[in-house]
């Protein structure tokens, strides 16, 4: 097997050209919507009830998560997002919908389901460290009238977009029928299809332009640890998935791009102080979609997304990245 080639960083001029291209792009984002809550405080003593810290909360904040965070990043780089997903008829759903509108996102493609809770991830943080995360959610697969309604929303979003993102967090929204319909609609318009997968439907995204798993997702699919000794399995996996390109995010080791001919290219991670990796994958997905929709090569799009992710991990919690921040990060 030929060793992966190494891709150098983008120049400032290349970054400027890419940033000019992504502004104004229209991205359909279909997937799991989440509300990320942060309870920040001080932990100075242990509870007398159990060997756990007592956290005195001094700050509360909320952010868009999952597919909603991908859409928020599209807005942040100057694009337009057509967001499709479901919310519960609850307080969290109202808060998430209000935050969408405040971010500049339309909620036309968002379906309210009274019998389903809004997905909420609550993180408790003290001294800059996450102590625990509490999840409130249902991961039951969509079906029946709700599924049909969401399929119609997805088709409408794709009909007026320059790229499609399928953002799967295994919360039951991206079921095979919705996946197949959205991919068929995007394929008929010949627009890029970017998939951020999870485990349940890992092999259900045939026809995607770029399939972007992270290391744990890929390891689970392969049934083996993903490291330098397992790279020979990746071209075969791309063929098994029936996708055009495979882009594996490897955390501190950067990214690995597997092309249609089986050629592999390694993209080094940006050298920065990592504060919090939450949301980094969403940043990669959104910026990758923006650049591809504007006609960038996959390698340049991946390098731009890698640069944006390097900015995001330097922030606390899930956050968006702006073109100004990417410009400042070009070394």
- The single residue of 36, 162, 196, 282 carrying the catalytic annotation is 282
Residue 229, pLDDT score: 46
Predicted pLDDT at 236: 81
What residues contact 280, with CB distance under 8 A and at least 6 apart? 249, 309, 312, 313
Instruction: Give the strand pairing for 193-196 and 33-46.
Output: unpaired
pLDDT tens column, 23-56 = 999 999 999 999 999 999 999 899 999 999 999 9
**Tens of pLDDT, residues 201-254:** 999 999 999 999 988 888 887 776 655 445 667 778 888 899 999 999 888 788
Could you tell me what percent of the chain has a pLDDT over 70? 94
H helix runs in the chain, sequence order: 12-22, 67-76, 91-103, 144-158, 176-188, 215-222, 234-241, 280-293, 298-312, 323-329
Judge whether residue 58 has pLDDT over 90: yes
Q: Is the distance from CB of 158 to CB of 164 less than 8 angstroms?
A: yes
Q: Read off the pTM.
A: 0.93
Cα distances (Å, whole numbers) of residue 121 to 15, 61, 64, 131: 34, 12, 10, 13
Q: Map tokens 């100075």 to a residue.
A: 44
Q: Is 139 a catalytic residue?
A: no
Residue 201 DSSP SS3? coil
pLDDT-based confidence at 2, cuts 50/70/90?
low
């Amino acid at each position: 097997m030929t060793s992966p080639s190494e891709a150098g960083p983008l120049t400032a001029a290349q970054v400027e050209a890419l940033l000019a291209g992504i502004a104004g792009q229209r991205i359909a984002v279909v997937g799991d919507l989440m509300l990320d809550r942060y309870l920040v405080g001080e932990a100075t003593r242990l509870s007398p009830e159990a060997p756990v810290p007592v956290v005195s909360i001094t700050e509360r904040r909320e952010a868009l998560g999952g597919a909603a965070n991908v859409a928020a990043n599209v807005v942040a780089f100057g694009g337009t997002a057509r967001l499709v997903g479901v919310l519960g008829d609850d307080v969290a759903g109202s808060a998430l919908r209000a935050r969408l509108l405040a971010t500049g996102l339309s909620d036309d493609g968002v379906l309210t389901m009274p019998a389903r809770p809004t997905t909420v991830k609550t993180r408790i943080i003290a001294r800059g460290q996450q102590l625990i995360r509490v999840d409130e959610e249902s991961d039951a697969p969509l079906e029946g009238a709700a599924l049909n309604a969401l399929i119609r929303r997805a088709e409408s979003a794709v009909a007026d977009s320059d790229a499609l993102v399928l953002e799967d967090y295994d919360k039951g929204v991206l079921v095979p029928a919705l996946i197949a319909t959205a991919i068929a609609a995007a394929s008929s318009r010949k627009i890029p299809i970017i998939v951020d997968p999870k485990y349940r439907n890992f092999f259900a995204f045939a026809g995607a332009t770029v399939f972007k798993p992270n290391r744990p997702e890929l390891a689970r699919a392969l049934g083996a640890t993903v490291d330098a000794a397992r790279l020979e399995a990746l071209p075969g996996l791309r063929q098994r998935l029936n996708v055009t390109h495979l882009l594996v995010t490897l955390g501190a080791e950067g990214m690995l791009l597997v092309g249609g001919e089986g050629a592999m290219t390694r993209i080094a991670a940006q050298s920065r102080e990592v504060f919090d990796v939450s949301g980094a994958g969403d940043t990669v997905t959104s910026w990758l979609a923006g650049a591809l929709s504007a006609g960038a090569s996959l390698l340049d799009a991946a390098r731009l997304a890698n640069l944006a992710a390097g900015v995001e991990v330097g922030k606390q919690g899930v956050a968006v990245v702006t073109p100004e921040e990417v410009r400042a990060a070009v070394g």
